[in-house]
């Protein structure tokens, strides 16, 4: 099964943080300072860590606006 960039981004819009202060918040909606903390302490291992690292990169590069069309397309 091939995973596309769109599928990866869709997961960031749909998946929720499974633990911590922001449990239940969509990954793309996590505050930048929270992601910066993870970046300095180490992202969790596995898929979640990779997703959080990607969201961090998106936010520090000011690319959050790219998710607006996806939010509409994949509204739960």
Asked if residue 1 has pLDDT above 90, the reply is no
d(CA 42, CA 76): 30
Asked if residue 64 has pLDDT above 90, the reply is no
For 53, counting Cβ atoms within 10 Å of its Cβ (0-12 exposed, 13-18 middle, 19+ buried), the class is middle
For 30, counting Cβ atoms within 10 Å of its Cβ (0-12 exposed, 13-18 middle, 19+ buried), the class is buried
Contacts of 12 (CB under 8 A, 6+ apart): 26, 27, 28, 51, 54, 55, 58, 67
**What is the model's pTM?**
0.86
> Where does the pLDDT of residue 59 fall: very low under 50, low under 70, confident under 90, or very high at 90 and above?
very high
pLDDT tens for each residue of 5-50: 878 888 899 999 999 999 999 999 999 999 999 999 999 999 999 9
């Amino acid at each position: 099964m091939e995973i596309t960039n769109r599928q990866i981004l869709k997961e960031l819009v749909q998946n929720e943080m499974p633990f911590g202060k922001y449990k239940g918040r969509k990954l793309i909606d996590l505050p930048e300072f929270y992601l910066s903390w993870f970046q300095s302490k180490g992202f969790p291992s596995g898929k979640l860590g990779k997703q959080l690292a990607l969201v961090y990169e998106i936010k520090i590069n000011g690319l959050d606006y790219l998710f607006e069309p996806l939010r509409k397309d994949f509204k739960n």
